[in-house]
Structure 1
């Protein structure tokens, strides 16, 4: 049986892209998680529990099925123990194929996978912070201090060290603001 598995994530929150790709490979059954939470993968647990010899789980990319390299290894061991297979469309991985993979290809896929995990967690954290009204990134310097530093600099009466001491504006920050004023 070909079992399509998908879950929502930041770039595909409704699983629409995943669904289209899984339909293109004629999955017998397509199963979706209701949420992106790594802790509550009830549908994945159900699939792994009911997996039969010769079944194949098809995903669009490795990030869909696991949230860490360790988690991926656990899932792959479970699938292999059951005599089933995994196919990842994006990475071109199919454990049912006799055409082996080179070690370099596997390592490269794991690097991309780990990057996807970090990227998705970062995007999720930024999204959640935005919902809470928290601004992300480096805090801006107060405008009064910047204006004062620019005035002091343009008066040519103060050294850069004195400007920094009195306003808290560093030389690089001052120059960046001066450049933006010119443009």
Structure 2
């Protein structure tokens, strides 16, 4: 049986894109998480309990399935012990093919997997911060300091070092404001 596993992400918050891809590949049964959090993944447990000999689990990308490299290895072992296989669309990884992967390919996928997890968690954190009204990125310099730095620069009485010391405005920031 072809089994699809879906977990929301920042890029695909409703899992719609994942469901379309898995449906196209002929998945007959779906397990879909309601959240992207690594905790309380009820559908992952249900899916792992449902897997039987000869089943093929299909996912969009490795980061959909696991939350760390260790977790990924554990899931691969569990899937193998059940006699099932895994097909990952994004990485084009199919454990049912006997050709296998070279060590370099496997290593590349692990590195990409780690990068995807970091990127996903960063995007999720930024999204949650924005929802709470927290401004992200480097804090802006107070406008009065910028105005004071511009006045000091235009007076031709101060060096850039003195302006920076007095206002905290760097040379590049000052020039950026002067160009506006």
Q: Is the TM-score greater than 0.5? A: yes
1:29 to partner: Cα distance: 0.8
1:145 to partner: Cα distance: 0.8
1: CA distance between counterparts of 2:177 and 2:70?
46
Aligned to 1:80: 80
Residues 1:59 and 2:87 are matched in the alignment: no
1:159 to partner: Cα distance: 1.1
Q: How does 1:6-155 map to 2 (within 5 A)?
A: 6-155=6-155
2: CA distance between counterparts of 1:128 and 1:58?
29
2: CA distance between counterparts of 1:63 and 1:157?
58
Gaps of 5+ in 1: none
CA RMSD, 1 decimal = 1.1
1: CA distance between counterparts of 2:45 and 2:74?
12
1:38 to partner: Cα distance: 0.7
1:37 to partner: Cα distance: 1.3
1:8-58 deviation line (CA, Å, top 9, x unaligned): 111111111111100111112122111111111111111112221111111
1:52-93 deviation line (CA, Å, top 9, x unaligned): 111111101111101111111111111111111111011110
1: CA distance between counterparts of 2:166 and 2:5?
60
Secondary structure in 1 aligned to 2:150?
Answer: helix
2: CA distance between counterparts of 1:147 and 1:99?
66
Aligned to 1:174: 174
| TM-score w.r.t. length of structure 1 | 0.94
- Judge which range, 75-84 or 169-178, deviates more: 169-178
Gaps of 5+ in 2: none
2: CA distance between counterparts of 1:65 and 1:15?
13
1:158 to partner: Cα distance: 0.6
Aligned to 1:159: 159
2: CA distance between counterparts of 1:92 and 1:167?
54
Aligned to 2:5: 5
Secondary structure in 1 aligned to 2:158?
Answer: coil
